[in-house]
Structure 1
Amino acid sequence: MDDTIRQYERDEDYLKDFLKKIKNKNGSYKRICISPIRYAGGKSKAIGLILENLPKLKEKKIVSPFFGGGSVELCLSSMLGIEVIGYDVFNMLANFWNVLIHHKEDFINELKKFEITQEEFTYNRHVLLNYWDKIKPVDLHYKTKNKIELKEEDLTKLDNNAINQAVYYYYNMTLSYGPMFLGWPSSNEINKDKFKRRIEKIKELNLINLQVSCSSFEDILENHANDFLFLDPPYYLNGDSKMFKGMYPNCNFAIHHNNFDHIKLADMLKKHEGGFIMTYNNCSKIRDLYEDCIFVFPEWQYTYGQGETRIGKNRQKNTNNNIKESHEIIIIKWAKQ
């Protein structure tokens, strides 16, 4: 597409003003820590650059097929007034967001009942694991060692109870090393004062212009053929990818990231007429798959996937000296005129 007919949303006054507010003196953008969950590959540092490259929207609506930690989506919906229709294929995560949007007060009240100790964490992890055994994908094979005995009432505590499912999911993920689903306890996170601050952050969330459901990207792209998309798919971890190989396998249950069909996603996006902006890891395979799109090569950094020692040093010393540079790319396709 000729540069003269490319139009950006950043030229609209509301976004121009917002970008000005979050820009540092050195030209970089501030991190916007809006998501209530710690999430692998979260985009809190990338929000400014993503918004700067956002194509002109036909309407103030964006569809997100890979909602994940929701940093970009929450900024769009609560700070910029853009309607966000979000999805995630992981049912536990989609349920968490849905409960938070519609039952936030009940969620907080249940969350406050938990003790923040390693013993409580371990017991609650097995309550969650007991439920997960009932609903996990049939092709996900694993063996859990050293299961503990649960109280009779806890064997069905999460069955048909969306709020309890969301609370146990959040409690486990927030206090885990990683973070990861059904992860192990983190000495950095099992902290009563820190947990209280996290609850206060949830209270302050303004969850407007937002909905989240569980669905696959195949169904989403078919049902939103003419809508503009923001996509943050699982990383491509083969070939010359420089992404940390343990990012997904390290998450205990690589539920929907192992064997992700990157080629099918690319084929569907080639036919998508609504336009999109997407974050991916920068490697030759991904550049080849999207060779007809526009590439932006950002610079931001993650502390995820570096090991407990390096992350712990950052948090204990309140510094970012122990960081991992990203190897990412922003991919843009304008909507069909």
Structure 2
Amino acid sequence: MPLPLKSIKGTKIAIVGAGSVGATTAFALLMSDLAADIVIIDIDVHRAEGEVADLNHAAHFAQARVRVGTYADCAGAAAVIITAGVNQKHGQTRLDLLRTNHELFEDIVPQIAIAAPDTVLIIATNPCDVLTHSAKQLSRFPASKVIGTGTFLDTNRFRHELSKTYGVSPRNIHAIIIGEHGDSQLPVWSLATISGMRLKDYCVQAGIPYSHDEMEACAVRTKQAAYEIIQRKGKTNYGVASVLVSLVEAIVTDGDAIMTVSRVGDYVGVQDVALSMPCKVNRDGAHQEVPLLLNEEETEMLRQSAEEIKGAILSIEKEDEGDRLI
């Protein structure tokens, strides 16, 4: 249900990037009644003005106003969402986008940090994990205040795939994807449950066959989902927009919601890296308070995922150091 007007009075959300993800997020946010003031910022002001005009034609169904802004308008925002960047193209991995989008963040993030030093930064631009690390470094915010959408969307995709296999609503499936929002992501099979039962036990109780190969196929389809969508329509936008609105809801309502989001920390022996684990999200950001119980195989896979991301982070830091020496 929509929140009462008094609960969102004065709540501002800024979105940097008026492309497909930014505009879709603005619309979903407008319909959610989670914000009173939605600011869209983009280097292409004409594009932003067009999106805002279109969005305002839907605003009479909602409680918010939508407007074009500058980085100064991030001041006082409960959250600033960054969707700006080069989109992933067919045949590209998310890490292929790294250099271009990191350079963009070098311009964007410090301006946001100056205007809104107390906001929560939400990073949707890919490669999400590496850019979450970049955003923390560039903003100098605490780790909890810089949240990448990470594997939140992958987790939703995973539950959708499992729901088709088991004929159960995704809301009743508790299964998560952790690690990189990318090719080294991993499903946590050891903790996946339906009705409080591990998947094998559920199959026994439900009188249905359990197939390891079928489960692995679900994980593969989850990992390949973005590639398949991009091949067909050239972009993804609805799924990530829904994730962004869920994150805003947890922040604005101080919801203490558990979400698989990316944040900077030390994981399985890999220092200062951003990847996704279950975190409690509230008005103060994302907090990983309870270690996840993984088996040995999952722990090793998570370490490999962390090393993959760390390698990309180090490549950017090395290039930045080289630029300073020139």
Same fold (TM over 0.5): no
Please report the TM-score for the alignment, with normalisation by the length of structure 1.
0.34
Larger relative helix fraction: 2
